[in-house]
Structure 1
Amino acid sequence: MIKLYPEQLISQLNEGLRNCYLIWGNEPLLLQESQDHIRKAAEKHAFTEHFTYTLDNHTEWDEIFNICQSLSLFASRQTLTLLLPENGPNATITEQLVKLAGLLHPDILLILRGLKLTKAQENSNWFKILGKNGVYVSCQTPEQNRLPQWVAQRAKTMKLTLEEQANQLLCYCYEGNLLALAQALERLSLLYPDGKLTLHRVENAVNDAAHFTPYHWVDSLLSGKAKRAWHILKQLKQEDYEAVILLRTVQRELLLLLTLKRQSTTTPMKTLLDQHRVWQNRRPLLTSALQRLTQHDLQQAIHLLVQMERQIKQDYGQSIWSDLETLSMLLCGKTLPESFFNASCH
């Protein structure tokens, strides 16, 4: 079995078709694009009919088997796409898949699509039989350390020249939202027909596209820009942005800052930033924030976060925007009395 990532799929398809493609993962964009690439390649090899079945307890397996057994002289080549249940195939489905494997022939191309592949499934009989002469495409959302590679490859495919810092900015702004990232690249390719994506160009496009996002607010906090932080927060509130999303976004950065502050007493900062896999373009922001904020400041900020979390759980309808403003002032260097925190969220 050949195992590869979606960005490697086109090269494999150009080398020649296999009779079975197992595409698995949690990323809808990658699943759909992989399926489309396979079908497009198949059409070049005269696979002109496409059948798709969602597998469940009511699947008409005889209908599927009949497709594989129609061997008349004039029968067209066909692709057969089977969509597995969210929790994977049950015993009945696995039994039928083993039977199906025995009916496959060069004029049938099977695409098996699933959401989550467990170790048990990977070691199962049906998976090994279907994968023997097949290709497995891992369509998981790329992890942080692989995302720049994915972006670079996609930009290259689109004939875009992408600066390293511009790549990192895209990864930072769109991590976890691959569809938005892909759309951003499409938009950039239209904005700049010369295909040169510099940091400056990407910054302008990201800001234009997103207006203000929680990431812009967090950056203003790390930079200590109180007026900008206040302005962004006001804008997000006017747009009815979910305050809880801002809370979750700043939570990650604050916990990282506190960890770095504690560990920096015994370990060089460069080593810590490497260990925590901090993007290069984020490092100056985090370093300046660490120099400006004391451990006491960070602990106060965490205390505020805990209070806001408690408030959300106790009374979801209660607004936490005023507390987010307090947090902004604190992280931008405005000293606040202890009583302010004790009174907050009550």
Structure 2
Amino acid sequence: MIRLYAEQLDAKLQESLGRCYFLFGNEPLLLQESQSCIRSCAQNQQFEEHVSITLDATTDWYAIFSLCRERSLFARRQTLLLILPENGLQAPMGDKLLELISLLHEDLLLIVRGNKLTRSLENSRWFKALSAQAVLVRCITPEQEELSHWVANRAKSMHLTLDDVVCQTLCYYYENNLLALAQVLERLSLIYPDGYLTLPRVKGTLNDSAHFTPFHWVDAAIAGRNKRAMRILWHLQIESAQPALLLRSMQHEVLQLLTFKRNLHAVPIGRLFDRHKVWQNRRPLLTLALERLTFSQLRKAVALMVHIELALKQDYDYSIWSNLNALALLLCGNTLPTGALDD
């Protein structure tokens, strides 16, 4: 199976059009653009009909199978887009997909789209059966470190010229919101036909449309980035995030760090990560956190989290946000504010 990132898809399509495409990821813009890109290329090769079906418990599989069997001298070439359920595939649906594979032919191009590619999905029979002839396109929202590269490539494809300052400014205002970022670049290209984007030109069109999850906040605190942690928490409060969810996310991370810290003298860090099934991409972050954070800081963080949880259960009018901010600052290496643990 060929594996690509969304920004590599167009170049691959210029080489050849595949028979099957898997589009997986959490980024709606990249999923939609990848889908459109494939269909546009297929259109140029006489795939004139495009069918989209969202799979669920009521899906008419007989109609899908009939569509695949319609192959005659006068039948049009078709693309078939199957959108997988957000909550995952049930076994009967996997069996139907396996049956569908036996009906595929050269006049039918299959596109399978889903939000998350899990290991169990990759190990399923229908997925393995399609893998030999499939192209997997990863449509993942770029992380903060990768976003500037995405912006630069996007601007280049639109014949826009911008310097590092403009690029970083756009990344700051639109982190984790690619749709808004793409829209502002489109708007700037219309306002300034010469394509030169300077900071004075860009500033007037910007809105702080960044979007964050509780996991972004946890990672910022664990990494010791206090300004970023404060900004993310402010965004989460504005977006009416659930404080209890933020607290649970931080509890899991801090308790895990405390467990690692207690066992470092006896067990190598790599083995601890393996034992607790820590993802490879999180290991560098946690390793640095373990080097930076002391037992005292982690214990104080646990005490503050206990205080916050008890307060939440006993007082429904309790304002949690200042203590969540104190918790993040504590993990960033700041002194716990006076009275943070007072009732």
Find the counterpart in structure 2 of residue 97 from structure 1: 97
Q: Which residue of 2 aligns with 1:85?
A: 85
Query: Are the equivalent residues in 2 in contact too, given 1:24–1:139 (CA < 8 A)?
Result: yes
Structure 1 residue 342 corresponds to structure 2 residue 323:
no
Aligned-partner SS, 2:58? coil
Aligned-residue offset at 1:311: 6.9
Match of 1:129 in 2: 129
CA contact (8 A) 1:243 1:320 kept: no
Counterpart in 2 of 1:268?
Answer: none
> What is residue 280 of structure 2 aligned with on the other side?
none
* 1:242–1:61 CA distance, 2 compared to 1 (3 A): closer
**Structure 2 counterpart of 1:59, one-letter code:** T
- Which moved further from structure 2: 110-119 or 168-177? 168-177
| Counterpart residue number, 2:154 | 154
Kindly state the Cα deviation for residue 157 of structure 1 after the two structures are TM-superposed.
1.4
- Structure 2 match to 1:180: 180
Q: In the alignment, what sits opposite 1:118?
A: 118
Match of 1:330 in 2: none
> Paired residue for 1:169?
169
| Alignment partner, residue 60 of structure 1 | 60
TM-score relative to the length of structure 2: 0.64
Q: Deviations over 1:63-88 (max 9, x none)?
A: 11111111121101111110111133
Amino acid at match of 1:7: E
The corresponding residue for 1:71 is: 71
Greater Rg over alpha carbons, structure: 1
Alpha-carbon distance between aligned partners in 2 of 1:75 and 1:243, rounded to the nearest angstrom: 52
Deviation at 1:190, TM superposition (A): 2.2
Can you give the 5+ residue segments of structure 2 that lack an aligned partner in the other structure?
213-225, 228-233, 251-283, 286-300, 327-335
Counterpart of 1:199 in structure 2 is 199
| Superposition RMSD in Å | 4.3
CA distance change for structure 1 residues 9 and 58 in 2, over 3 Å: closer, same or farther? same
Return the alpha-carbon distance in structure 1 between the equivalents of residues 29 and 314 of structure 2: 37
Q: Is the 8 A contact 1:6 1:34 kept in 2?
A: yes
- Paired residue secondary structure (2:78): strand
Code of the aligned partner of 1:342? G
Q: Which runs of 5+ in 1 are unaligned?
A: 215-220, 223-235, 253-274, 277-301, 328-337
Is the contact made by 1:87 and 1:116 (CA closer than 8 Å) also made in structure 2?
no
TM-score, length of structure 1 as denominator length = 0.64
Separation in 1 of the partners of 2:89 and 2:15?
31
Offset, 1:344? 11
User: For 1:186 and 1:316, how far apart are their aligned partners in 2?
Assistant: 45
Tell me if structure 1 keeps the 8 A contact 2:175–2:209: no
Residues of 2 paired with 1:105 and 1:114: CA distance?
A: 22
Separation in structure 1 between the aligned mates of residue 340 and residue 33 of structure 2, nearest angstrom: 52
Letter in 1 for 2:79: T
SS at the partner of 1:205? coil
Q: 1:195 to 1:344 in 2, by over 3 A?
A: farther
- Cα–Cα, structure 1 residues 62 and 244, in superposed 2: closer, same or farther, change >3 Å? closer
Change (3 A) 1:317 1:42: farther
On the 8 A contact 2:50/2:80 being kept in 1, the answer is: yes
Matches within 5 A, 1:16-55: 16-55=16-55
Distance 1:151 1:164 in 2: 10
